[in-house]
């Protein structure tokens, strides 16, 4: 079976808000996680975790406040540590470049993503207390060597209504951005703890007909 080309493309421009943290070693190559703060069109911002190889960039040269442009794929990994979310979502860097702060302009999209994948869980449609329509999706995006990334997506408004009618196994094309969302999780003892959810905010979604 041939490899699906261009089914997972993601790019961000953001400010480093952490120093790189060692993630793992693979075939004698060290990988690190770098947290970037990526501006939205509004005054808010998203946190995007970048996974990068030591071969792409001198890890010791990274400083908090540096601006980086990153191109790669939005990937998921199972978290076996028992701490945090069960699914770890990162932008796997294929290219990373230090930029000047002046790169931000009205003509630049600092956060964009394109996926081609398959609905792998029944869509969940709901409305907020203010009547806003939302549909939660889980999309499997094939990777080489028989692997897949499982990407949670959230659609709003008309996209939510359209997405709610999709079925497990449907092939969809999605455009949007990577986003982080803070929420409070209630523990068994009754106390609450602050958590961060990472997902794709859908701006456009199409069903691919066979």
Nearest of 85, 86, 90 to residue 193 by alpha carbon: 85
Q: What is the pLDDT of residue 97?
A: 96
Residue 197 has what pLDDT? 87
- Domains (ranges, CATH) in the chain? 8-111 (2.40.50.140), 112-207 (2.40.50.140)
Strands (E), 54-147: 67-78, 87-99, 111-119, 124-127, 133-142
The model's pTM is 0.90
For tokens 């523990």, name the residue: 187
The confidence score (pLDDT) of residue 2 equals: 46
pLDDT of residue 139: 98
pLDDT at 1: 42
Q: Which helix H or strand E contains 160, and what residues bound it?
A: helix 157-163
List per-block mean pLDDT (blocks of 10 residues) for the chain, which spans 210 residues.
71 96 94 96 90 96 97 88 73 96 84 97 94 96 91 97 97 97 81 88 94
User: What pLDDT shows up at residue 4?
Assistant: 45
Q: What is the pLDDT of residue 93?
A: 98
């Amino acid at each position: 079976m041939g490899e699906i080309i261009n089914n997972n493309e993601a790019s961000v421009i953001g400010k480093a808000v952490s120093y790189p943290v060692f993630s793992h070693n693979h075939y004698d190559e060290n990988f690190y996680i770098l947290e970037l703060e990526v501006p939205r069109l509004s005054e808010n911002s998203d946190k995007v975790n970048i996974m990068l190889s030591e071969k792409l960039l001198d890890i010791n040269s990274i400083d908090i406040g540096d601006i980086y442009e990153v191109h790669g794929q939005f990937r998921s990994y199972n978290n076996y540590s028992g701490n945090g979310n069960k699914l770890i979502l990162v932008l796997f860097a294929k290219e990373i470049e230090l930029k000047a702060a002046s790169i931000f302009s009205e003509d630049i999209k600092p956060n964009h993503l394109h996926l081609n994948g398959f609905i792998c869980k029944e869509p969940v449609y709901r409305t907020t207390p203010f009547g806003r329509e939302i549909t939660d999706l889980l999309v499997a995006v094939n990777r080489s060597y028989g692997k897949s990334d499982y990407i949670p997506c959230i659609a709003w408004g008309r996209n939510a209504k359209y997405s709610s009618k999709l079925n497990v196994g449907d092939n969809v094309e999605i455009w949007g951005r990577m986003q982080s969302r803070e929420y409070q999780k209630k523990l068994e003892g009754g106390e609450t703890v602050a958590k961060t959810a990472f997902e794709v905010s859908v701006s456009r979604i199409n069903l691919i007909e066979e």
